[in-house]
């Protein structure tokens, strides 16, 4: 049973600006070291960061709480499985709220084109 759906779009230029200005503080506040390593290794790091940020925002919308109740940006990590499919890994307060709502699965889709990154998250209850 679908319990929540969230979608978010992000202007890639926003993250390109952060990178061009060397604003590593905001990057470190939004992304853990593994995410930073993955995105920094890509030719278009800004698209990678923008899509992952959109995924975190989409998850918060699907969960229905926004960035409050003690959730940190670092409680949500976008990883890729062995075939490259993006997945959302939860920790800390995000994991606690997810479990408190009785949720069992997170489905994530990422895309970017035309200067925009988009993410969709579907939360499923068992």
Q: Are 110 and 59 in contact (CB under 8 A)?
A: no
Q: Is the pLDDT of residue 40 over 90?
A: yes
User: How many CB atoms lie under 10 A from the CB of residue 45?
Assistant: 18
Number of structural domains the chain divides into: 1
* Domain span holding position 39: 2-124
Average pLDDT rounded to a whole number, residues 92-105: 95
CATH number at residue 27: 3.90.470.20
Q: Is the pLDDT of residue 121 over 80?
A: yes
Encode pLDDT of 24-34 as tens digits: 999 999 999 99
Q: Are 122 and 5 in contact (CB under 8 A)?
A: yes
For strand 76-80 and strand 2-11, is the pairing parallel, antiparallel, or unpaired?
unpaired
């Amino acid at each position: 049973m679908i319990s929540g759906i969230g979608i978010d779009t992000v202007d890639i230029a926003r993250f390109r600006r952060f990178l061009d200005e060397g604003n590593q503080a905001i990057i470190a506040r939004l992304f853990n070291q593994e995410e930073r390593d993955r995105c920094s290794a890509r030719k278009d790091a800004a698209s990678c960061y923008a899509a992952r940020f959109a995924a975190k925002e989409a998850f918060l919308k699907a969960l229905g709480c926004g960035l409050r109740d003690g959730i940190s940006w670092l409680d949500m990590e976008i990883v890729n499985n062995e075939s490259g499919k993006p997945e959302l890994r939860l920790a800390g307060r995000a994991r606690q709220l997810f479990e408190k709502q009785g949720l069992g699965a997170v489905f994530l889709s990422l895309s970017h084109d035309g200067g925009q990154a988009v993410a969709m998250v579907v939360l499923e209850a068992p």
